[in-house]
Structure 1
């Protein structure tokens, strides 16, 4: 592979996708030039300022407004506001020559071939030879855009289809032409994976590529199925949500968020360009969907679609659902079926699919009517849209948020066992025969009974040309616990599994609900350290679940507090603290690998690890204020310690303490790994960010090996922590009293704030003093226990347990 460094990217087009693609490159430290068209008319406000069409502010108005809109959107396209400084803006008329300094030019203008070709004419004038040039089109054939271009342009040109929003959706489709250099494709596949954090999927230049071809087929097939099975909007979204391993937004809610016009545009494109597709009839819109588009009921962008948000008589928000027969909105009905209830206790998604398929009610019938035609459909897309079926699964997981791709679901149900069911399914999509592609039957006849298998910890797929299993390419650098757990588990209990990752490194994996921390997890972590100190050389704390950890098991705390069993509660809190301290002061390096939610105790454990290797999308925070307590697992102590380390001569130390206090007092949760550092949860030199979630455990293991080989030595507990005593307490108490007087916080909030201040300041010491970690831990535990004795704290904990959200009382 030719070595390339991407230092600067030019993004041509600043619309919804262009501005957000620019933001994501800035997120990873790349300089970005974002360009768009020059306005043709002045706005009244510009005229009032005396500006002209030649003024720079006017000429860059389009691009600057688009970028501002993107950055102010929620969720944010940037990891940190600092990323925006890497984006320079300009316009096609004045600044196109600047693309000569770019290493990669990405075209993201309107979906019209003639306009794209005009842009490429200008790119040819200024682009330096060898520069990558790609298009983010979602529908226009890539080879048509390459027509008429120079040899060097065509050799370095292909499609790079990001899914919206680019920061959050992991799918990046790479679509080369016959003239794209193989090393360019290889580079983009690798760069997208490692640096952009994407699941890169190699696609053929076919209509809608892979993700939208299968994803839109699946969604539109459901819109037709609704009529045949007599389903409601609420039923479909209940059936196709988390129970099926799909996102909470399911089907119709997703359509509202994306916009029905977007869905219809892709469907129309497929109806026009995929006429040879045996199921092309599915791309013809059902009557109710056509009527919705005619009425401009396009979803969230204009206030109504399959759902409509209104205010009731009391001013409360209410979300109504659409009756697809009458096109009138009504209150949402409850959806309850025995099959759905049967799936709830089944955590293993593959086993849950089998339970779902065997349902005898409407939910089970729907599952079968959805999946059997889907299996036929995807089997027939090979080799049309891809030569390797696993790329379809990759695209559906990364682009549509499915836990399992269609071939993985098929494996879970049994490939052979399902074939006859596919043939006799009555609710078949028009045009489909019930006969899967011939290669599936050939696979089974050859003695291969599944699409995938795991061998020696490596996932393999059935390779059609060679009629044998081959390792899934691109996954060599991944550690997938599901693939190694059976062979490499060294110890486990009800909450933790300890696995040998090789090279002398253990992994401690939580598997409680939401990976909350209770007695089993505490026991498991101590056992992991015992084992690592005796026979290994490092420990990683990580898992492959949906979240790293949602914090301590507050149900357990609630029960002990309600029963006023304070001795037991004191022991539990001290054990939690001791565990955090053992992570810090063990004889082997401990690397935490957080991702997604890392709250409360999950955050505290990470703060006490020797190193934190975290995913870019990590939402880390000490949120204990929300349940009426302060961080009690070492988090409050740790913030006092870190504030002490930040005190500098001539600095107002109370200001440093105030920032730490507010982070906990306002229960701030980072919106990214970068922001976790800005909030003080991470320390410079003691963390690194993995862009690709799939690489996180491997990166964490590599860091543990590095620390061990560097001659890791056991650190010594700190006894030199400077606390401010009464000097700091005065600021804390005055601030809390002022906030209470202004009704910004409740009386109980004030009490919690004062307890936190007491710990951070080291109590009411008469002068700034150096104290030990254990001194602060004792204060922290005392404050935590006293708050657990407060009625309003118990009300908050109970509200969180029953309602799932904080109570302000």
Structure 2
């Protein structure tokens, strides 16, 4: 049967339930969110004369939970507009409404008896064939299905979303022995393509995969603190971004998650995994138990391994816990020769080798934590997963590791590391210093790595067949790492042009923060030249951490300080010309932005034929923060968007104000959807990809679609309506009143006036239709005039040195 999800019922509106509901609303699904009915009135309700039967009272719990979650930071919703898709209710009045749901997700309290009571009610109203899943992190899935009908059990399994579900990509699918294989296949695909998740098939074992390995890795570090006499801040420095892990590293992550949550999972594993050879690792060190007793649980109790205070000057300071004395003190600066050496190495896999070969505490901790981890994960196959790649997927998607355990092991060399594990002096409780037998068999068979790339496709070592197999589903992804070596046709220091096949080229920017300077502009123009001669289309996208932080302001600052305005004028014109080529070339150009897409990255997006963007794209024209206006065509584009809205019969001054303020307030979208709502994207010229791993493949498919449709080169516009003096009056009065009210500085006022000058087409006596080039020339002139001012240079310098905007 072809299954479609139009409506989802979420049972339980706590933090997790409400956030799951929000994420389904994000992707366009209608959601029914239910919870219990209050047992008594609140004083405020009594005062209003409400009764316990009033719908406002009966839905108070669910409405309160949803409101609280929507106001949380980071937000669980792409835009406020998605909330209209969520309808709230309660278990007594609205359980019957689940009959119209295509998928019912239970997210009530983690107690088996309560979950069974809920499922008993579900069976009264659920229509046959409806998916029914439980979002549990610890209760065995098969126990929940006991006593239920055959149809219920056939369509039931676990779906463990990681919190917060909008941002963490891991979705564990845990079937029982009775779950229909079609249901499992559907959930794996739906979670991947529509929810944007890395879906990992798990066995019904304690804590499944993500928490089983992730909590082991965290607790292993807590046991090693005393061994190496390490401080909280040292552990977090040695186990954070330098190793491709989140900034929160180890102890800060525990604070964010909540020490009580960590303890509950650890205790559950200790009790429910009796055959785990390393179960003693899940036994908490004494200092953690004391912290729990003191209710130092992390962020939720405002102190844990770290504590935020205000010093005598009122400045915020973050203290660290001394694990010996359990007192808080100022953080010490962490010093390490290995750390410093690793910082200079860009490639993460090579960085791992630096740590493995080092001689100080950072290196010792790396080996003492990772060698037992390698032993542990090897022993979990096939216990928790038949395929090793699922463990790596879970750690990357659920815990934010850039490399999973087997990938790290590969980077260090499997055979050499096995020998080092056997000779290791530091062992964690219950471990033998010997990896699982299948690893030795793999090596004896001449297979020296867990993964290999063949014909651009990544394969994993399959234990059953003792051969390398394609990772299921990965055929749908384009991974530049797998193509770069054999398919790069041109490159310079900042970009690589890679042949994606089927006549489509890809421009990969790989400068620092993917900033756009001369080399990037040269590379994009080279790619367009090549595509126009021999190919069918062009994609601009990458596999890095962000799309682009914008123009290379260091280069702009240097030229401005040296007063080399001729060179600067040429550089800005080259940027503008490149933006225009993205739109006015003879082949379709598709951009694939994600994460930070700022300044010039946003301007490129505004000019592309089509934008295939990730749902988590934070796009904006932020040039005001460095004292200038958008100079790569962004100011011109906003004037065009305003002009197009004028023609739809809108009030011209109001439209101009909105577009002007989008730039003037440096508004950055909090999602791909909001990038459209802010006017950076145009209807019909963008689409959102939920799964980041699919982004480049979707962009390539769009480029092919445009080419197959007979793409023809557009004609530059000369029908852009600008308001001239009529619009300038509004801009100048508004800027002056904002400065008078001390909302903006005098220099902000100047920048606002220069932006207004461009968007209004200059000092025209009446509304006039102008060309794109006319606006580009105005934009470039005003950009250069601002760059030459002392205060704009101060702003640029401050951003370069401090990484944040200066108001002067």
Normalised-by-shorter TM-score class: over 0.9
Output the TM-score relative to the length of structure 1: 0.99
Instruction: Kindly indicate whether residue 345 of structure 2 is the aligned counterpart of residue 346 of structure 1.
Output: yes
Any idea what SS the aligned residue of 1:571 has?
helix
Within 5 Å, give how 1:575-654 maps onto structure 2. 575-648=574-647, 650-654=649-653
Equivalent position of 1:244 in the other structure: 243
Deviation string, structure 1 residues 89-143 (Cα, Å, up to 9, x no partner): 0000110000000000000000000000000000000000000000000000000
Contact 1:580 1:608 in 2 (8 A): yes
Cα deviations across residues 639-664 of structure 1 (Å, max 9, x unaligned)? 00111011036532011010000000
Q: CA deviation at 1:394?
A: 0.1
Residue pairs, 1:277-316, within 5 angstroms = 277-316=276-315
Q: What residue number does 2:152 align with?
A: 153
- Cross-structure match for 2:558: 559
1:336 counterpart = 2:335 = yes
Q: Quick check: 1:615–1:690 contact (8 Å CA) kept in 2?
A: yes
CA distance in 2: counterparts of 1:309 and 1:78, whole angstroms: 28
**Contact 1:10/1:33 (<8 A) preserved:** yes
Alignment pair present for 1:476 and 2:475: yes
Residue 25 of structure 1 corresponds to 24
How much has 1:542 moved relative to structure 2? 0.3
After alignment, is 484-493 or 587-596 more displaced?
484-493
* Deviation, structure 1 residue 211: 0.1
Do the aligned partners of 1:159 and 1:174 also contact (CA within 8 Å) in 2?
Answer: yes
Alpha-carbon distance change, 766 to 170 in structure 1, aligned in 2, over 3 angstroms: same
| Corresponding position of 1:171 | 170
State the match for 1:664 in structure 2. Answer: 663
Q: Residues 46-85 of structure 1, C-alpha deviation per residue, up to 9 Å, x if partnerless? A: 0000001111000000000000011111110000101100
Q: Is this contact kept in 2: 1:225–1:427, CA < 8 A?
A: no
- In the TM superposition, what is the alpha-carbon distance from 1:227 to its structure 2 partner? 1.2
Name the counterpart of 1:377.
376
Give CA-to-partner distance per residue, 1:511-544, whole Å, 9 cap, x none. 0011000111000000000000000010000000
1:476 partner SS: helix
Q: In the aligned structure 1, how far is the partner of 2:649 from the partner of 2:412?
A: 68
| Alignment partner of 1:794 is 2:793 | yes
Q: 1:181 aligns to what?
A: 180
Counterparts of 1:571 and 1:167, CA distance in 2: 43
Find the aligned partners of 2:199 and 2:432 in 1 and give their Cα distance: 32
Q: Which range is displaced more, 426-435 or 201-210?
A: 426-435
Work out whether 1:143 is the aligned partner of 2:142. Answer: yes
The Cα offsets for residues 411-446 of structure 1, whole Å up to 9 and x where unpaired, read as 000000101111222221110001100000000000
Question: Partner residue of 1:89?
Answer: 88
- SS of 2:476's equivalent in the other structure is coil
Q: Report how many residues are paired.
A: 808
* Counterpart for residue 212 of structure 1: 211
- Asked if 2 retains the 8 angstrom alpha-carbon contact of 1:256 and 1:306, the reply is yes
CA distance in 1, matches of 2:62, 2:165: 18
Deviant stretches of 4+, over 4 Å = none
> What is the rounded CA distance, in whole Å, between the counterparts of 1:425 and 1:661 in structure 2?
63
d(CA) in 2 for partners of 1:424, 1:739:
69
Give the corresponding residue for 2:454.
Answer: 455
1:756-804 Cα shifts (integer Å, max 9, x gaps)? 0000000010000011111100110111101111111111111111111
Match of 1:523 in 2: 522
Deviations 1:398-420 (A, max 9, x none): 00000000000000000001011
CA distance in 1 between partners of 2:402 and 2:647 (Å): 49
User: For the residues of structure 1 that align with 2:423 and 2:277, how far apart are their CA atoms?
Assistant: 18
* Distance in 2 between residues matched to 1:453 and 1:475, nearest whole Å: 13
The Cα of 1:355 is off from its aligned counterpart by: 1.3
Normalising by structure 2, we get a TM-score of: 1.00
Q: Verify: 1:687 aligned to 2:686, yes or no.
A: yes
Q: Is 1:53 paired with 2:52?
A: yes
2-structure distance, mates of 1:423, 1:56: 66
Deviations 1:181-235 (A, max 9, x none): 0000000000000000000000000000000000000001110111111100000
For the Cα contact (< 8 Å) 1:11–1:22, is it kept in 2?
yes
Distance 2:413 2:391 in 1: 18
Distance 1:206 1:594 in 2: 38
For 1:692-730, what per-residue CA distance to the aligned partner results, in whole angstroms no more than 9, with x for missing partners? 000000000000000001000001111111000000000
Q: 5+ unaligned residues in a row in structure 1: which ranges? A: none
Paired residue secondary structure (2:99) = helix
What corresponds to 1:101 in structure 2? 100
1:360 CA displacement: 1.1
- CA–CA distance in structure 2, aligned partners of residues 614 and 431 of structure 1: 47
Match of 1:326 in 2: 325
> Are positions 1:698 and 2:697 aligned together?
yes
| 2:133 maps to 1:134 | yes
Q: What is the CA–CA distance in structure 2 between the aligned matches of 1:278 and 1:441, rounded to whole Å? A: 19
Q: Which residue of 1 aligns with 2:399?
A: 400
Quote the Cα distance in structure 1 between the aligned partners of 2:354 and 2:11: 49
After superposition, give the CA deviation of every residue in 1:232-272 in whole Å (9 maximum; x if it has no partner): 00000001111000011111111101100000010010011
CA RMSD of aligned residues (A): 0.6
Map of 1:713 onto structure 2:
712
Distance 2:755 2:170 in 1: 43
2:780, 2:525 → 1: CA distance?
A: 20
CA distance in 2, matches of 1:788, 1:489: 37
